Amino acid sequence: MRLVENLKWRYATKKFDSGKIVSEQDLDYLKEAVQLSVSSYGLQLYKVLIIEDKALRARLKEVSWGQSQVTEASHLFVFCNFSEHKEERIDDYINNIVKTQQIPISEVQGYGDFIKESLSQKNESEWQSWSKRQTYLSLANLLSACAELKIDACPMEGFDPKAYNEILGLDKRGLNASVIATVGYRSEKDATQYRKKVRKTMEELFETV
Protein backbone atom coordinates (compact mmCIF):
# COMPACT_ATOMS: atom_id res chain seq x y z
CA MET A 1 0.00 0.00 0.00
CA ARG A 2 3.02 2.30 0.24
CA LEU A 3 2.92 3.05 -3.48
CA VAL A 4 -0.62 4.43 -3.26
CA GLU A 5 0.27 6.53 -0.22
CA ASN A 6 3.34 7.88 -2.02
CA LEU A 7 1.25 8.77 -5.06
CA LYS A 8 -1.25 10.57 -2.84
CA TRP A 9 1.66 12.59 -1.41
CA ARG A 10 3.18 13.67 -4.72
CA TYR A 11 1.96 16.50 -6.92
CA ALA A 12 3.30 18.47 -9.86
CA THR A 13 5.51 20.88 -7.93
CA LYS A 14 5.32 24.42 -9.24
CA LYS A 15 7.87 26.11 -6.98
CA PHE A 16 11.03 24.42 -5.70
CA ASP A 17 13.36 25.31 -2.85
CA SER A 18 16.53 26.11 -4.79
CA GLY A 19 18.64 25.68 -1.65
CA LYS A 20 17.90 21.97 -1.36
CA ILE A 21 19.84 19.57 -3.57
CA VAL A 22 19.13 15.88 -4.24
CA SER A 23 22.00 13.78 -2.87
CA GLU A 24 24.18 11.69 -5.15
CA GLN A 25 22.90 8.55 -3.45
CA ASP A 26 19.27 9.46 -4.12
CA LEU A 27 20.11 10.56 -7.65
CA ASP A 28 21.69 7.16 -8.31
CA TYR A 29 18.47 5.52 -7.06
CA LEU A 30 16.37 7.62 -9.44
CA LYS A 31 18.68 6.76 -12.33
CA GLU A 32 18.41 3.06 -11.57
CA ALA A 33 14.61 3.30 -11.45
CA VAL A 34 14.65 4.90 -14.90
CA GLN A 35 17.11 2.27 -16.15
CA LEU A 36 14.71 -0.50 -15.06
CA SER A 37 11.72 1.00 -16.87
CA VAL A 38 9.73 -1.11 -19.27
CA SER A 39 10.03 -0.37 -23.00
CA SER A 40 8.67 -1.88 -26.19
CA TYR A 41 10.67 -5.01 -27.06
CA GLY A 42 13.03 -4.02 -24.22
CA LEU A 43 14.94 -1.75 -26.62
CA GLN A 44 15.10 1.45 -24.54
CA LEU A 45 15.43 3.61 -27.64
CA TYR A 46 16.03 6.83 -25.75
CA LYS A 47 18.59 8.72 -23.72
CA VAL A 48 18.12 10.75 -20.55
CA LEU A 49 20.11 13.92 -19.96
CA ILE A 50 20.42 15.22 -16.39
CA ILE A 51 21.11 18.93 -16.50
CA GLU A 52 22.88 20.47 -13.49
CA ASP A 53 24.64 23.42 -15.15
CA LYS A 54 22.89 26.60 -13.95
CA ALA A 55 23.79 28.73 -16.95
CA LEU A 56 22.53 26.08 -19.34
CA ARG A 57 19.31 25.73 -17.41
CA ALA A 58 18.81 29.49 -17.52
CA ARG A 59 18.89 29.28 -21.32
CA LEU A 60 16.47 26.36 -21.28
CA LYS A 61 14.09 28.27 -19.00
CA GLU A 62 13.72 30.91 -21.72
CA VAL A 63 12.32 28.25 -24.07
CA SER A 64 10.24 26.56 -21.37
CA TRP A 65 7.55 29.21 -21.11
CA GLY A 66 9.68 30.92 -18.46
CA GLN A 67 8.72 28.30 -15.88
CA SER A 68 10.77 28.72 -12.71
CA GLN A 69 11.00 24.97 -12.02
CA VAL A 70 13.65 24.64 -14.72
CA THR A 71 16.15 26.74 -12.77
CA GLU A 72 14.91 26.35 -9.17
CA ALA A 73 14.81 22.55 -9.02
CA SER A 74 17.82 20.50 -7.99
CA HIS A 75 18.03 18.69 -11.34
CA LEU A 76 16.43 18.81 -14.75
CA PHE A 77 15.79 15.50 -16.54
CA VAL A 78 15.44 15.68 -20.33
CA PHE A 79 14.06 12.51 -21.90
CA CYS A 80 15.19 12.21 -25.52
CA ASN A 81 13.91 9.77 -28.11
CA PHE A 82 15.99 8.73 -31.10
CA SER A 83 14.79 10.77 -34.06
CA GLU A 84 15.36 8.07 -36.69
CA HIS A 85 15.18 4.31 -36.92
CA LYS A 86 18.49 2.46 -37.23
CA GLU A 87 18.72 -1.33 -37.28
CA GLU A 88 22.15 -1.20 -35.62
CA ARG A 89 20.42 -0.32 -32.34
CA ILE A 90 18.51 -3.59 -32.52
CA ASP A 91 21.75 -5.44 -33.17
CA ASP A 92 23.26 -3.73 -30.12
CA TYR A 93 20.29 -4.86 -28.03
CA ILE A 94 20.56 -8.46 -29.23
CA ASN A 95 24.29 -8.47 -28.51
CA ASN A 96 23.56 -7.11 -25.03
CA ILE A 97 21.16 -10.00 -24.41
CA VAL A 98 23.82 -12.47 -25.51
CA LYS A 99 26.45 -10.89 -23.27
CA THR A 100 24.21 -10.42 -20.23
CA GLN A 101 22.46 -13.78 -20.29
CA GLN A 102 25.48 -15.66 -21.67
CA ILE A 103 23.57 -17.45 -24.39
CA PRO A 104 24.44 -18.16 -28.03
CA ILE A 105 23.24 -15.53 -30.48
CA SER A 106 21.34 -18.20 -32.39
CA GLU A 107 18.80 -18.30 -29.56
CA VAL A 108 17.79 -14.65 -30.00
CA GLN A 109 18.66 -13.84 -33.61
CA GLY A 110 15.12 -14.65 -34.67
CA TYR A 111 13.77 -12.21 -32.11
CA GLY A 112 16.05 -9.51 -33.47
CA ASP A 113 14.84 -10.18 -37.02
CA PHE A 114 11.25 -10.01 -35.81
CA ILE A 115 11.84 -6.60 -34.21
CA LYS A 116 13.50 -5.28 -37.37
CA GLU A 117 10.61 -6.45 -39.52
CA SER A 118 8.03 -4.98 -37.16
CA LEU A 119 9.68 -1.57 -36.88
CA SER A 120 10.46 -1.37 -40.59
CA GLN A 121 6.73 -1.13 -41.23
CA LYS A 122 6.48 2.22 -39.46
CA ASN A 123 6.72 5.35 -41.60
CA GLU A 124 8.60 8.39 -40.29
CA SER A 125 5.56 9.90 -38.58
CA GLU A 126 4.66 6.62 -36.91
CA TRP A 127 8.25 6.10 -35.77
CA GLN A 128 8.39 9.57 -34.20
CA SER A 129 5.12 9.03 -32.35
CA TRP A 130 6.09 5.54 -31.16
CA SER A 131 9.61 6.48 -30.06
CA LYS A 132 8.39 9.54 -28.14
CA ARG A 133 5.92 7.38 -26.23
CA GLN A 134 8.77 5.21 -25.01
CA THR A 135 10.19 8.11 -23.00
CA TYR A 136 6.92 8.52 -21.09
CA LEU A 137 7.23 4.97 -19.77
CA SER A 138 10.56 5.83 -18.17
CA LEU A 139 9.22 9.17 -16.96
CA ALA A 140 6.55 7.28 -14.99
CA ASN A 141 9.23 5.30 -13.16
CA LEU A 142 11.08 8.50 -12.31
CA LEU A 143 7.97 10.06 -10.80
CA SER A 144 7.15 6.96 -8.74
CA ALA A 145 10.73 6.65 -7.49
CA CYS A 146 10.76 10.33 -6.53
CA ALA A 147 7.55 9.88 -4.56
CA GLU A 148 9.04 6.90 -2.74
CA LEU A 149 12.02 8.99 -1.61
CA LYS A 150 9.82 12.01 -0.86
CA ILE A 151 11.56 13.94 -3.59
CA ASP A 152 9.37 16.35 -5.49
CA ALA A 153 9.05 16.32 -9.25
CA CYS A 154 7.17 18.04 -12.03
CA PRO A 155 6.71 16.42 -15.46
CA MET A 156 6.58 19.12 -18.13
CA GLU A 157 5.54 19.33 -21.77
CA GLY A 158 5.58 23.12 -21.74
CA PHE A 159 8.80 23.70 -23.64
CA ASP A 160 10.03 24.18 -27.20
CA PRO A 161 11.56 20.85 -28.33
CA LYS A 162 13.30 22.39 -31.34
CA ALA A 163 14.95 24.99 -29.14
CA TYR A 164 16.00 22.33 -26.64
CA ASN A 165 17.46 20.27 -29.49
CA GLU A 166 19.49 23.26 -30.67
CA ILE A 167 20.71 24.40 -27.24
CA LEU A 168 21.67 20.87 -26.14
CA GLY A 169 23.05 19.85 -29.54
CA LEU A 170 20.62 16.95 -29.76
CA ASP A 171 20.04 17.14 -33.51
CA LYS A 172 23.70 16.30 -34.14
CA ARG A 173 23.31 13.21 -31.97
CA GLY A 174 20.12 11.97 -33.63
CA LEU A 175 18.09 12.79 -30.54
CA ASN A 176 14.92 14.76 -29.86
CA ALA A 177 13.76 16.29 -26.56
CA SER A 178 10.47 14.52 -25.91
CA VAL A 179 9.46 15.37 -22.32
CA ILE A 180 11.21 16.91 -19.33
CA ALA A 181 10.93 16.66 -15.55
CA THR A 182 12.27 18.84 -12.77
CA VAL A 183 13.36 17.12 -9.56
CA GLY A 184 14.07 18.56 -6.12
CA TYR A 185 12.20 19.69 -3.02
CA ARG A 186 9.05 21.78 -2.77
CA SER A 187 9.13 25.32 -1.47
CA GLU A 188 6.87 26.18 1.45
CA LYS A 189 5.66 29.06 -0.72
CA ASP A 190 4.25 26.69 -3.34
CA ALA A 191 0.51 27.03 -2.78
CA THR A 192 -0.23 24.07 -5.04
CA GLN A 193 0.83 21.57 -2.37
CA TYR A 194 -2.00 22.61 -0.07
CA ARG A 195 -4.76 21.92 -2.60
CA LYS A 196 -6.71 18.68 -2.56
CA LYS A 197 -5.75 16.25 -5.32
CA VAL A 198 -8.42 16.23 -8.03
CA ARG A 199 -9.10 12.92 -9.77
CA LYS A 200 -12.07 11.17 -11.38
CA THR A 201 -13.99 8.76 -9.18
CA MET A 202 -13.35 5.02 -9.52
CA GLU A 203 -16.80 4.67 -11.10
CA GLU A 204 -16.03 7.29 -13.74
CA LEU A 205 -12.57 6.00 -14.52
CA PHE A 206 -13.03 2.23 -14.59
CA GLU A 207 -15.35 -0.08 -16.46
CA THR A 208 -15.33 -3.85 -16.22
CA VAL A 209 -16.50 -5.75 -19.29
Domain limits, the chain: 2-84+130-205, 86-121
- pLDDT (tens digit per residue) in 105-114: 999 999 999 9
116-151, pLDDT tens digit by residue? Answer: 999 999 999 999 999 999 999 999 999 999 999 999
Q: What is the mean pLDDT of residues 143-172?
A: 98
> What pLDDT is recorded for position 181?
98
Start-to-end CA distance of the chain, whole Å, equals 26
**Confidence band for 1, pLDDT divided at 50, 70 and 90:** confident
Which residue stretches of the chain are H helix? 2-9, 24-35, 54-62, 69-72, 87-101, 109-120, 124-148, 161-167, 202-205
Taking the CB of residue 92, how many other CB atoms lie within 10 A of it? Answer: 11
The packing angle between helices 87-101 and 109-120, to 10°, is 160
- What average pLDDT does the chain have? 97
Helix (H, G, I), strand (E, B) or coil at 159: coil
Distance CA 162, CA 56 (A): 16
Q: What is the pLDDT of residues 30-67, one digit of tens each?
A: 999 999 999 999 999 999 999 999 999 999 999 999 99
Residues 72-117: tens digit of each pLDDT: 999 999 999 999 999 999 999 999 999 999 999 999 999 999 999 9
User: 2-84+130-205 has which CATH code?
Assistant: 3.40.109.10
The single-letter code of the amino acid at 4 is V
pTM: 0.96
Instruction: Flag whether pLDDT at 162 surpasses 80.
Output: yes
Q: What is the model's pLDDT at position 58?
A: 98
